[in-house]
A and B are shown apart, each in its own frame.
Chain A
Amino acid sequence: MSVVAVVAIGTPDGEALASVEAAVATAFGREVRRLDPLPEPPRALDAARGQWNAPEMLKALLAARPAFAERILGVTGRDLFIPVLSFVFGQAQMEGPTAVISLARLSQAFSGLPEDRPLLLQRARKEALHELGHTFGLVHCPDAACPMSLSTGVVQVDRKGEAFCASCAALVRERTPVAPPPEGRTR
Chain B
Amino acid sequence: MRATWRILVIDDEAVMRESLAAWLREDGYEVDTAASGREGIDRARETDYAIYFVDLKMPGGIDGIETMMEVKKLRADASIVIITAYATVDTAITAMKEGALEYIVKPCNPQEISLLVTRIIKVRKLQRENEILRRRLSGRWHFQDLISKSPRMQEVFGLVKDVASLRSTVLITGESGTGKELIARALHFSGERAERPFVGVSCAALTESLLESELFGYEKGAFTGAAERRKGKFEQATGGTIFLDEIGDIAPKVQVDLLRVLQERRFFRVGGSEEVSVDVRVVAATHVDLVEAVRTERFRDDLYYRLNVVAIHLPPLRERPEDIPLLARSFLERLSHELGKEAEDLSEGALKALLGHRWPGNVRELENAVERALVTAKGRILTEEDFAFLRPVSEAAPGWTVPTHLPLADVEKTVIAATLRRNEGNVKETAAVLGIDRSTLYDKLKKYAIER
Contacts and interface: CB of A to CB of B under 8 A. Distances in A.
Interface of A: 49, 55, 81-88, 91-92, 94, 134, 137, 139-143, 150, 152-153, 165-168, 170-171, 173-174
Contact of B26 (A94, A165, A171): A94
A142 B26 contact: no
A140 B13 CA distance: 26
The residue among A137, A140, A170 with the most chain B CB atoms within 10 A of its own CB is A170
Given A174-B348, A174-B349, A85 B23 contact: yes
Given A82-B23, A140-B26, A140-B28, A87 B110 contact: yes
A84 B107 contact: yes
Contact of A141 (B13, B106, B110, B380): B380
**Which of A141, A165, A167, A171 has the most B CB atoms < 10 Å from its CB?**
A167
Interface stretch (B209-217, B252-260, B325-333, B381-389): B381-389
Interface string B221-251: 0000000000000000000000000000000
Interface string B101-116: 0000011111101100
Given A82-B22, A140-B27, 20 more contacts: A81-B107, A82-B19, A82-B23, A84-B19, A84-B113, A85-B107, A85-B113, A86-B108, A86-B109, A88-B23, A88-B110, A139-B1, A139-B25, A139-B26, A140-B26, A150-B114, A153-B111, A166-B379, A167-B378, A174-B348
Contacts of B27: 139-140, 150
Contacts of A142: 342, 380
Contacts of A171: 347, 349, 381, 383
A91 B18 CA distance: 13
Nearest to B20: A84
18 contacts: A82-B19, A83-B13, A83-B15, A83-B106, A84-B113, A85-B108, A134-B26, A140-B27, A140-B28, A150-B26, A150-B27, A150-B114, A167-B383, A168-B379, A170-B384, A170-B386, A171-B381, A174-B383
A84 B106 contact: yes
B2 interface: yes
A165 B379 contact: yes
B110 A170 contact: no
Given A88-B110, A94-B26, A152-B110, A83 B379 contact: no
Given A94-B26, A134-B26, A139-B2, A84 B385 contact: no
B382 to A, nearest CB: 9
| Top 5 A-B pairs, shortest CB-CB distance | A167-B379, A139-B28, A152-B111, A174-B349, A82-B19
Contacts of A84: 16, 19-20, 23, 83, 106-108, 113
Nearest to B9: A84
A84 B13 CA distance: 11
